[in-house]
Amino acid sequence: MTEALTKKIFLSIITICSLSVVAAIIIVTAILYVASAELAASEVRTDAKLIASAVEQSGGSYLETDGIADDVRVTWIGSDGQVLFDSEEEAAELENHADRKEILEAMKTGEGSSSRYSTTIMHKTANHAVRLSDGSVIRVLGVHTSLTAQLLKVLTPMLLTLAVLVLFSALAASKVSRNIVKPINGIDLAHPSNIKGYEELAPLLDKLRSQNIKVTRQMDEIQSRRERFALMTESMTEGLIIADPKLNVLTCNSGARRLLGAGSFTEGQSIYALNNSDVFRRCLINALGGRRSECILRTGDGQREVIASPANSIDMVCGLVVFIMDVTEKQELETMRREFTSNVSHELKTPLTTIYGTADILANGMVKQEDVAQFGGNIRSEAERLINLINDIVALSKLDEDSAPRENESVELYALAEEVLDRLKLSADEKGVTASVSGERVSLMGSRTILGEVMYNLCDNAIKYNVSGGKLEVKISHIPQRAIITVSDTGMGIPKEHIGRIFERFYRVDKSRSRKIKGTGLGLSIVKHGVMYHNGTVRVDSEAGRGTVFAVELPIEKKQ
């Protein structure tokens, strides 16, 4: 910008100087021309008077002498306008001069003057006429150079002078323009201050200062908003991506990179650098079409729900806003819900089918009288199984929904373990399992009912899945601020690959074998939720064919 300004100043100075020189030459020439014209007219007037006086004294013979100067033309005109004598032409060949201006004025007033321009010789003539006593007129004509001729005469020196002055002006203009622009170049736009000798720039500098303050304030506000936006988006567990219509990323939080499994990524890259799967591409392309699009994206870490919404401006899509959520747990819960519904339906259908079939046989009188008791026992056994299943489902549902009664009483675990083993004594005797309790008297604040369910289900499983003649041991102990319940058996054990899923509802390690063992398949799920209800943890140590150990740790001071 400053180079353009320097050039403009330079050209302006050169133009002004050149025009000034040309104007000065023309004016001087014009002044000289006026002066020379007046001098020529004066000389012609003097010559006319002198010649007229001589003719009056000497008569026409004077005109024949060599006393007339070469640079003037003398004409003697009679009173009737006929030329009597001419110093340059034959008098008889000249036309009548009665209508000439200077002749008419001389006839009337005694003297007359005029001037005429000759285009052929580019000169101007000065004419002066004097009337003689006999009525004739002596006219003297003098020639002087016209303004055009004078200009052409001085054209060469004028051009040389102009060239010298233009060269000098160029040097001066170059230096002056640089000196003018130099202080302007030195202005610090971030901190403008007044320039010495340039008071005219004070309003501009004041405006720059106020604009700098305003821009700085706006930039600080924008930066603050950007930082707040970044803080909010980075604190999100969900992913957020904003992209332009060409799908170049404008902003992307760390949650999006993490959920999409992207490695190194910088803003400005294509959104496909984050994920290039067909499902993701189709979702984005549909959103670019102007409609909200959703899809489930499967990555190595789980399942992600992608919601792509177009950012519309009047009648066009000016970008995309992509929201990403981790729905792995949600999908797993949905899968568990479907499995739970299926399993519950199956578990309810089995005893109901048995009850219906047995009752139908009895109703049709197809059973001998001595077998009625056996069939009635089957109905009672299946009904009991059905009731236990429903009770377990209700208990588990209450624990899931945190709607179980909030009991906060002192529970002595050793006594509770003795009570549970006493309830299971008949089952243990039928299986030939020896059950025992050992350890310390440990008390904690909690729900006696739920803790009883936890111990009952652990011990019941230890009996059901034990070998004939096996052992069940319950040990109560504690470490600082935590009570420990250990239930161990010498049963069939659990293969390592199944341990991670045994707390799932209705999950069975060996389904064919488990069907022969009475149970609802919800016992360990109740154990897990009962322990969680008390803010505790449960661990499993087992190996196929070598028994199982469950260790439950509970805080002695229950957290509220």
CATH of the domain at 127: 3.30.450.20
pLDDT above 70 (res 173): yes
Evaluate whether 147 touches 33 at the Cβ level (below 8 Å).
yes
Residue 554: its pLDDT value, please?
A: 92
Evaluate whether 309 touches 242 at the Cβ level (below 8 Å).
no
Span 100-104, average pLDDT: 86
Number of domains within the chain: 5
Q: Are residues 254 and 298 in the same domain?
A: yes
Q: Are residues 437 and 493 in the same domain?
A: yes
pLDDT above 70 (res 183): no
Instruction: Count CB atoms within 10 A of the CB of residue 381.
Output: 14
For residue 104, how many C-alpha atoms fall within 13 Å in the half-sphere facing its CB? 4
Given the DSSP bridges, would you call strands 471-479 and 434-439 parallel, antiparallel or unpaired? parallel
| CATH code: domain of residue 343 | 1.10.287.130
Q: Are residues 352 and 480 in the same domain?
A: no
Span 362-387, average pLDDT: 74
Look at residue 177 and tell me if it is in a domain.
no
Residue 223: its pLDDT value, please?
A: 86
- Whole-number Å distance between alpha carbons of 344 and 505: 10
Q: Which one is predicted more confidently, 154 or 209?
A: 209
Q: Are residues 385 and 476 in the same domain?
A: no
Look at residue 84 and tell me if it is in a domain.
yes
H/E element, 486: strand 482-489
Q: Are residues 385 and 427 in the same domain?
A: no
| CATH code: domain of residue 476 | 3.30.565.10
Look at residue 160 and tell me if it is in a domain.
no
pLDDT above 70 (res 391): no
Among 305, 326, 347, the domain-final residue is 326
Look at residue 167 and tell me if it is in a domain.
no
- Whole-number Å distance between alpha carbons of 209 and 396: 72
Span 46-52, average pLDDT: 83
Q: What is the pTM of this model?
A: 0.40
Q: Are residues 144 and 13 in the same domain?
A: yes
Look at residue 253 and tell me if it is in a domain.
yes
Residue 471: its pLDDT value, please?
A: 92
Q: Which one is predicted more confidently, 151 or 354?
A: 354
Q: Are residues 10 and 143 in the same domain?
A: yes
Note the helical H segments in 186-270: 202-234, 254-260
Question: How high is the mean pLDDT of the chain?
Answer: 79
Look at residue 320 and tell me if it is in a domain.
yes
Residue 348's domain spans which residues? 331-396
Q: What is the pLDDT of residues 398-419, one digit of tens each?
A: 656 555 555 678 889 999 999 9
Percent of the chain scoring above 90 in pLDDT? 9
Q: Are residues 292 and 384 in the same domain?
A: no
Residue 277: its pLDDT value, please?
A: 87
Look at residue 174 and tell me if it is in a domain.
no
Q: What is the pLDDT of residues 211-264, one digit of tens each?
A: 888 888 888 888 888 888 777 877 788 888 889 988 898 888 888 888 888 777
pLDDT above 60 (res 197): no
Q: Are residues 33 and 92 in the same domain?
A: yes
Q: Which of 43-57, 94-108, 159-173, 332-346 has the least mean pLDDT? A: 332-346
Q: Are residues 291 and 389 in the same domain?
A: no
Q: Are residues 242 and 227 in the same domain?
A: no
Among 72, 68, 52, which residue's Cα sits nearest to residue 135? Answer: 52
Residue 385: its pLDDT value, please?
A: 63
Q: What is the pLDDT of residues 257-299, one digit of tens each?
A: 888 887 777 778 888 888 888 888 999 888 888 888 999 888 8
Q: Are residues 426 and 536 in the same domain?
A: yes
Span 1-24, average pLDDT: 75
Span 135-156, average pLDDT: 73
- Whole-number Å distance between alpha carbons of 381 and 387: 10
Tell me how far CA of residue 216 lies from CA of 191, 192, 210, 236, 406, in angstroms: 12, 14, 10, 30, 59
pLDDT above 70 (res 19): yes
Helix pair angle (523-533, 448-464), 10° resolution: 150
Q: Which of 186-200, 319-333, 435-449 has the least mean pLDDT? A: 186-200
Largest Cα separation within the chain, whole Å, is 197
For the four alpha carbons of 14, 17, 18 and 19, in that order, the dihedral sign comes to positive
Residue 514: its pLDDT value, please?
A: 46
The DSSP-derived string for 55-94 is: HHHHTTHHHHSTTS-TTEEEEEE-TTS-EEEESSS-GGGS
Look at residue 168 and tell me if it is in a domain.
no
pLDDT above 50 (res 52): yes
pLDDT category, 439, cuts 50, 70, 90?
A: very high
Evaluate whether 49 touches 71 at the Cβ level (below 8 Å).
no
pLDDT above 90 (res 476): yes
H/E element, 421: helix 413-423
pLDDT above 80 (res 84): yes
pLDDT category, 394, cuts 50, 70, 90?
A: low
Q: What is the pLDDT of residues 297-348, one digit of tens each?
A: 888 778 888 999 988 877 788 889 998 888 877 766 666 666 656 656 655 6
Amino acid 466 reads N
pLDDT above 70 (res 99): yes
